[in-house]
Amino acid sequence: MSLSLLPELWRLNKQQWASREQLETIRLAKLRRQVWRAWEYSPFSRERFEKAGFHPDQLESMEDLRGIPLLTRTDYIAAGEKAYCSDVDIEQCVWAKSSGSSGSPVRIPLTRRDKQHRVLKELRALLANGYRFTDKMMIIWVPRAFVDSRPMLHRLGLLRRRYATVFAPEPDQLAGISAYNPEVLYTYTSNFRILAEEILSGRREAPKPRILITSAELLDSGTRQLITKAFAVEPIDFYGSMEVGWIAWQCQERGAYHVNSDCVIVECLRDGEPVGPGEDGEFVITNLHSDAAPLIRYATGDTGRLTDEKCSCGRTLPLLAVLSGRMADYFVLPDGKRLSPYAVTSVLRDVPGMRRFQVVQEAELAIKVNVQATPQAPDAETVRKAVQRALSPAVSVDVEYMESLPREASGKFKIVKSMVAMDPTEAAEKVA
Ligand SMILES: [Zn+2]
C-alpha cells in the first residue's frame, strides 16, 4: 500500500454505495477485460473456452458468463504455467498459497496490481468497521502468510501491523497481544475460540482490542458468543479464500455479508444451475482482479446462500446470507452426501465437563473424537453415545484422550476434520 493508491481506495469506498445499475456496469466492464485477457494470454483458459464453444465476443451480459465451464481446483493445478498470462513476468510475482488442508495445495501468482487490489479490498472492509489508519493491527496467522513490513508508512504511524505465529501456545499469544496492545485483532476463528477459552478460564486477563476479525472457518453462534464474552467485543466475520482474497464481509450490523461484487463475482449454483436468492448452493467465483492467472468460474466447494435483502447500513453491495459450509469441513457419507459436522459438534458442546475436542472422520463410516484430557473430562462412553445420537448407527465412533490436541500444518485448529477428500465440483453436485 502506498499513498498513491488513495484515489483508488476512495473510488472503492464510494462504490459500496453505488446503485445496482452502476455496479452492474462496473462489473461487466471488469469481467470483459478479464475474459479477454484470459483468451489472449492464458493458453489454458483459451483452450477451456474453445472446448465449450465460447468466445469473449459473446459476453454481452453477466448471464453470458455461464457459457464458460466451471473450473475445478484439480484442473487449475494440472494446468500449471499454462494457466498464467504470458504477458506477465511470473518471476516478479508474489505467490498466494493454500495450505492444502482440503486436498492439494494451490498456488496463485499475483502481480503487484493484483496484490495491491487485495489490500484495498481489505481496507474498505476494515474502514466500514471503524478502522482508522492510525490503528495498530495484530494478525495471528500461519507464518507462511506474513508479508513484508511497510517502514515508510509505519514511521508515519499509519497502517501499522504486527504478525505473530498461531503456533505459539495460547498464553504466549495472549501475552504478545497485551504487549503490542492492538486496536484490531485478526486471527482464525478457531484460534479466537481457543484464546477466548483461555481468558474465560481466568488464567489470563483479556486484551482490549476495539475490533475483532474472525476468518477462515465458520463462525457458529456458540463461538461468536464465547468470543464476545471473553473480549467484551462482538467479532466481525470476513469470508475469503486464498485464491481471490476477501470475498465478503460483515459490516457493523453483523448480519449478512457484503459481497465485494465490484471485485469478485459470486455465483451460487446447484447441479451447475444458478439457484434463486435464499436457496442453498455452492459458491463459484470469478476474480475481476487477477492479471497474472485468470480465475474464472472457479468452484470453491464452499456452500451457503445469497439473498436479495438489503442491509440496514444502506450499502448497496449485495449480500451473502449464510455461509453454511467450507469445503474442508464437510463429512462425506457413503452415499456421497455431505453432512455438516456442526451437527456433531453442537451435541459435544452440551456434554458436561467437555472442554476441547476434535471430531475426525477417519473413513466413510468411522468417526474419531479426540478429547483433551482434563480431570473434568467426560468419560468415553458418554462422549461416544452423544456423537452416535447425531449420526447413523452404521457409523462407528471412537474416543481418544489426548494431553493436547494437534493443529494443522496451516496453523488452524480444526474442530472437525475429514480424511475423506473429494473434488469440490464433484462434491457440489452432492450437497445434502
Ligand atoms: Zn451492512
Task: Cell numbers for 136, please give them.
Answer: 495498530
Kindly indicate the confidence band of residue 152, based on its pLDDT and cuts at 50, 70 and 90. Answer: confident
- Res 16: pLDDT: 97
DSSP 364-421: TTEEEEEEE--TTPPPHHHHHHHHHHHS-TTSEEEEEEESSPPPPTTS---SEEES--
| Distance of CA 250 from the midpoint of ligand 1 (Å) | 7
Kindly indicate the confidence band of residue 148, based on its pLDDT and cuts at 50, 70 and 90. Answer: low
- Res 217: pLDDT: 77
Average the pLDDT over 314-328 and give the result: 81
- Res 428: pLDDT: 34
Kindly indicate the confidence band of residue 86, based on its pLDDT and cuts at 50, 70 and 90. Answer: very high
| Distance of CA 392 from the midpoint of ligand 1 (Å) | 40
| Distance of CA 75 from the midpoint of ligand 1 (Å) | 36
Residue 429 has pLDDT above 60, yes or no: no
| Distance of CA 258 from the midpoint of ligand 1 (Å) | 6
Query: 263: how many CB neighbours lie within 10 A of its CB?
Result: 24
1-326 against 330-428: fold identical: no
Residue 100 has pLDDT above 70, yes or no: no
- Tell me how far the alpha carbon of residue 329 is from its chain's centroid: 12
Query: 280: how many CB neighbours lie within 10 A of its CB?
Result: 17
| Distance of CA 48 from the midpoint of ligand 1 (Å) | 37
Neighbours of ion ligand 1 (CB under 5 A): 251, 253, 311, 313, 315
- Res 374: pLDDT: 85
pLDDT digits (tens, 9 = 90+) for 281-297: 999 999 999 999 999 99
pTM confidence score: 0.81
Beta bridge partners of 397: 367
Beta bridge partners of 369: 359, 399
| Distance of CA 32 from the midpoint of ligand 1 (Å) | 28
- Res 71: pLDDT: 96
pLDDT digits (tens, 9 = 90+) for 208-246: 999 999 987 778 888 899 999 999 999 999 999 889 999
| Distance of CA 314 from the midpoint of ligand 1 (Å) | 6
Average the pLDDT over 30-49 and give the result: 98
The better pLDDT of the pair 141, 294 is held by: 294
- Res 404: pLDDT: 85
The better pLDDT of the pair 398, 104 is held by: 398
| Distance of CA 239 from the midpoint of ligand 1 (Å) | 14
- Res 338: pLDDT: 60
Residue 175 has pLDDT above 50, yes or no: yes
Residue 151 has pLDDT above 90, yes or no: no
| Distance of CA 318 from the midpoint of ligand 1 (Å) | 9
| Distance of CA 310 from the midpoint of ligand 1 (Å) | 8
pLDDT digits (tens, 9 = 90+) for 371-391: 988 888 899 999 999 888 877
In the CATH scheme, what architecture does the domain 1-326 have? 3-Layer(aba) Sandwich (3.40)
- Res 426: pLDDT: 37
| Distance of CA 342 from the midpoint of ligand 1 (Å) | 27
86, burial (CB in 10 Å: exposed 0-12, middle 13-18, buried 19+): exposed
- Domain segments of the chain: what residues? 1-326, 330-428
Contact 318, 294 (CB under 8 A): no
- Tell me how far the alpha carbon of residue 19 is from its chain's centroid: 27
| Distance of CA 22 from the midpoint of ligand 1 (Å) | 18
Kindly indicate the confidence band of residue 340, based on its pLDDT and cuts at 50, 70 and 90. Answer: low
- Res 157: pLDDT: 85
Contact 1, 121 (CB under 8 A): no
Average pLDDT, the chain: 87
Choose the CATH number for 330-428 among 3.40.50.970, 1.10.10.10, 3.30.300.30, 3.40.1360.10.
Answer: 3.30.300.30
Among 48-52, 246-250, 327-331, whose mean pLDDT is lowest?
327-331
Residue 410 has pLDDT above 90, yes or no: no
Helix (H, G, I), strand (E, B) or coil at 173: helix
Contact 424, 301 (CB under 8 A): yes
- Measured between alpha carbons, how far is 83 from 240 in angstroms, rounded to an integer? 22
Task: Cell numbers for 428, please give them.
Answer: 457440489
- Measured between alpha carbons, how far is 81 from 44 in angstroms, rounded to an integer? 9
Average the pLDDT over 76-103 and give the result: 85
Contact 311, 258 (CB under 8 A): yes
Average the pLDDT over 308-319 and give the result: 96
- Res 396: pLDDT: 87
